[in-house]
Amino acid sequence: MASKPLQGVRILDLTRLLPGPVATLHLADLGADVIKIEDHGAGDYARTMGDGPEGVSVFYRAVNRNKRGLRLDLKNPEGAALFRRLAAEADVVIESFRPGVMDKLGVGYEALRSLNPRLVFCAITGYGQSGPLALAAGHDLNYIGYAGILDQIGVDGGQPAIPNLQIGDLLGGAMSAVMGTLAALFDARRSGQGRFVDVSMSDAALAHNLFPLFALQGGAGVAERGRDMLSGGDAGYGVYATADGRYMAVAPLERKFWDLFCDTLGKPRWKARHGASGAEARAMRAELETLFVSQPQSYWTEKFARVDCCVTPVLTVAEALAHPHFQARGMGFQADGITQYGPPVRLSDMPAEPVRPAPAPGEHGQAILAEFGVTAEEWQRLQNLGVV
């Protein structure tokens, strides 16, 4: 059986909380040796954000599996020197400090690439390394607010709705970092030259806010919240309440699906209303609301179970994990005392291996540093100085 595709790639991970750790989670799952480096203070405070076995949160355990742990004080000159020693042999450094912090510590990109020209250095920030907002603080809500995404989320006449999927953090910070790191790593292996990967969570969110961009350049302009075709303007794409307070996701957008949808409901006269807009769409939506609220979700789920027209139940997370499809795909499994999600990308011939639990602070420190030539005596000296 083939090895994992990133086997042999060594990553120094200085990130914490959500975007960076999820990026390195995906890279670790693909076989990279991810060394999670934390300070001697709070370290990654995701550990205490929420409940979990033995006082370590589910949050921390789930996004830091398959990594090894090292403690290192980068503010100590000896700690910075040791980090440079590690970076000289590493393939990738991933960090999520504000711009300039790594330079001040003496471990920025320019300092490290002079030691290791093939090094890929990925910096994840809210607003990027340049621009008026580069040094501003922010969270996911701020990033999607600036990117014009939050303005479009919600129902007609309502205020913007806060999504519980962190679009800026995950689409922007995590997945863009994975993409940029892999692209730069590929080129480094080919050319011998690494790159600085500037990941801006707000940039990445904006770059994927596509339909409002398309509409902005059309005659009608961007629709108000809840009135775009996919957010309420088309009755054939929406969420409809059922009699038991649950919901159905109804999305027969294409004509072939709409016709089948109408036939299944015994409403052939509705076929002519496909793609209706404006007042006609609102009238169609009102009729669909009346129809769907007349029966419980289980009724509609069963009715459309064998009809291929994009009508499905809205599930809770627990129901999704228990669903036969995700069960068959192995998307939920038990490891490190919690339920975890399976990797989102499946590669052929990739061996399944036991999951390494998320590391305790500095758990693998001595073993890691021994791989970089640090002797037992040097380890003890560094420990006494509070460097590791």
Catalytic residue numbers, as ranges: 139, 169
In angstroms, rounded to a whole number, what is the distance separating the alpha carbons of residues 203 and 148?
11
- The span from the CA of 304 to the CA of 313, in Å, is 9
Distance between CA atoms of residues 161 and 152, nearest Å: 9
Structure tokens at 316: 């809770």
- Percentages helix, strand, coil for the chain, rounded to the nearest 5? 45, 15, 45
342-381 as b/e: b if 16+ CB within 10 A: eeeeeeeebeeeeebbbbebbbbbbebbeeeebeeeebee
Name residue 7's beta-bridge partners: none
Please tell me the distance from the alpha carbon of residue 88 to that of residue 184, in angstroms, as a whole number: 17
Determine the Cα–Cα distance for residues 183 and 165; give it in Å rounded to an integer: 26
Sheet holding 10-13, edge to edge: 67-71, 33-38, 10-13, 92-95, 120-125, 196-200
Cα 218 to Cα 149, 215, 229, 263: the distances in Å are 18, 5, 14, 34
* Residue 180 near residue 105, CB atoms below 8 Å: no
Instruction: Transcribe 256-275 into DSSP letters.
Output: HHHHHHHHHHT-GGGGGGTT
Distance CA 280, CA 283 (A): 5
